[in-house]
Structure 1
Amino acid sequence: MAEIHPFYQTHRRAMEAAMRERLDLAEAMLRERTHLSDIDGVRQDVMDEFAIVLTQMPYVGGGASRMSDFFMRLTGFMAISRVLRRHGVPVPVIGEIERETYKAQLLTIPEAERLAAGHQFMSPENQALMREQAARSVTKAHQAEFPEDFVYDFVEPGPQDSFEFGIDYKACGFCKLAARHGDKEILPNICGLDFDAYATRGIRLERTQTLAGGASHCNFRFSRLDRTR
């Protein structure tokens, strides 16, 4: 049986707790929108699938990589998508349930804490870190060491731009994971979670294309929502 990378093993208990919380928040929607009768069975199926997903999560540098957090927060939704798809739930319905569940989970965090995280994300210090990690991500040495990682450029705004900074993802760790395990159909559901993830922290995300949608890159553009100015 495949093993969980030691880095993710140290975070396993917290990730499993987050999954159980998501399923609690999703339960009413699962009953109303999926027309499945054995919701308790579905919950167990999801947790069993999540145990499999944990063994599939690629190691991209652990705490030294900002992308590790993305995998730890979002790959659980692949488990939910896989199970619901096997039960015949339409992919758009799965996406709606996941996005509403994720937003509800994010909103359990106190607003002050969420907005503080948003300020930190937009800070000059964090932008400097992202520039540094973006520059490293495109090197052959990094891609050879972490072939499943994201590859991206940091985007500075031009004179006519309204965003504060951007990220162009030229290769996506979730796309690689989905391609390897037959999850391409459910991949756009993962992409859809980004907007609420940033909005609940006081950040406006603008994005007009994704790798999952067939584009050459994902064009993330970030600015502060008015309430955080």
Structure 2
Amino acid sequence: MIISQNKPFEEVLAFLENSEKIIIVGCSECATVCKVGGETEVQEMKEMLEEEGKKVLGTTILSPACNLLNSRKDMKQFKEELKETDAILSLACGDGTQTVAKVAKPEVYPGSDTMFIGEIERIGQFEEACKACGECELGWTAAICPITKCAKGLVNGPCGGAKDKKCEVSNDNDCAWLLIYDKLKDLGKLENMMSMREPKNFEKGNAPRRINLRNQEKETANA
């Protein structure tokens, strides 16, 4: 899940300084769960902007914002409004905001900061879980990610700086490699830590990345 947080309202106003007529969009999925871009947040933003003298021509919750075809279809409801809109304010994540910018001509501004890919620990509480590095290491680390959990992204064991099982970079975090060790020990697979791993192939994480399932299926069929 993509975790995001609201930008300071002052920053949003700075973006919209020269814009009078606004459309606000949110997202039905991640931004709604994060309480950043759901129905409630979009309505609150509408009221705040109107108090600042802005005219909100319309609001909508895209389903989801990052789906190009869906967003193009959903934005058609504002066919007439878009002709006079000065700007669109997106409360979706950075991905969704860029998607909206592809399907609408007015300038699109972000109303949130995209933080990380994470898990929902409980309502309103999230933890970073994945760097989307392109080469998953979870198969030999007992499903604990050393790239995300370790502040240094080490793949060949701990750095030696941990104290009381806490990371030397931040005492708020457990040492990832001690977590991995304990889990592998419980599983009877400590031998996983005995092999020297090759340097991580960060080329697989080069941005921007694309995946085309249709092309993959064709290549598989022709193999």
Q: Same fold (TM over 0.5)?
A: no
Structure ranking higher in helix proportion:
1
- What is the TM-score normalised by the length of structure 1? 0.28
If asked which structure has higher relative contact order (CA below 8 Å, sep 6+), I would say: 1
- What is the TM-score normalised by the length of structure 2? 0.29
Highest CA radius of gyration, 1 or 2?
2
Structure ranking higher in strand proportion:
2
